[in-house]
Amino acid sequence: MDAQLKKGLLDSLVLAALLEEDGYGYSLSERIGQVVSIAETALYPVLRRLEEQGSLSTYAVEHGGRLRKYYRITPEGRARLLEGADELRELRKLIDGILEEVEGNG
């Protein structure tokens, strides 16, 4: 798949996983893992990227004598996700169109 598109989709996926509830690294990988199978190691760069662009903010929570880093979606992140959702809907129409053709003629 096109790397650029894939990166964009991963970003949206991570943002969406944080919509309802904040999460920490491992819990996010579990949440995403339920939806789609991606490499575990794909998560870190996405989180860093989103944090750097201001879509996510982080805070630390003490857990079992250590600090756990939690990620929270920012208003900008929400806006970005909605924007991305519009594009995804367009994309879905396109994909549905293609699949209908393929299946109709298959």
Partner 1 sequence: MAEYGTPPEAAKGLPDPEAASWLDALRTALAGGLPTETAAEVVGFYEEYWLDALESGRTADEVAARLGSPERIVAQTLSERSIRAAEAKPGPLALVAAARRTAKANAIASAAGRAALGTAAVLPLLAGLAMYLVAIALLFGAAAAVALTILESPLVPISASDVRIGLAGLALFFGSALLGSGWLAWKGGNGLTRLTMRMLRRSLRKAAPDAASADTASGTAGRRRAGGVGRILRKGLAIGLMLAFGGGAAMLAATDLGIEYLSVWLSRTPKHVVATDKAFAADGVTGIRIDAQYSRITIGTVPGDEVTVTMGTPDWMAPTCTLADGLLTVAETPNGRLPFFRFVAIHEGVTEIRIGVPEGKALDLLDVLSTGSYVSVGVPAATLSVHTTTGAIDLLARYYPTIPDGVHSSSGRVDLWTPLE
Residue ranges that bind partner 1, judged by CB under 8 A: 3-4, 7, 11, 24-27, 29-30, 38-49, 52-53, 63-66, 68-69
CB of 85 to partner 1, least distance (A): 18
Closer residue to partner 1 in complex, CB, 41/105: 41
d(CA 8, CA 6): 5
Q: Are 63 and 74 in contact (CB under 8 A)?
A: no
User: Which residues make beta-bridge pairs with 72?
Assistant: 57
User: Which residues make beta-bridge pairs with 71?
Assistant: 23, 58
CB of 24 to partner 1, least distance (A): 7
Closer residue to partner 1 in complex, CB, 79/97: 79
DSSP state of 30: H
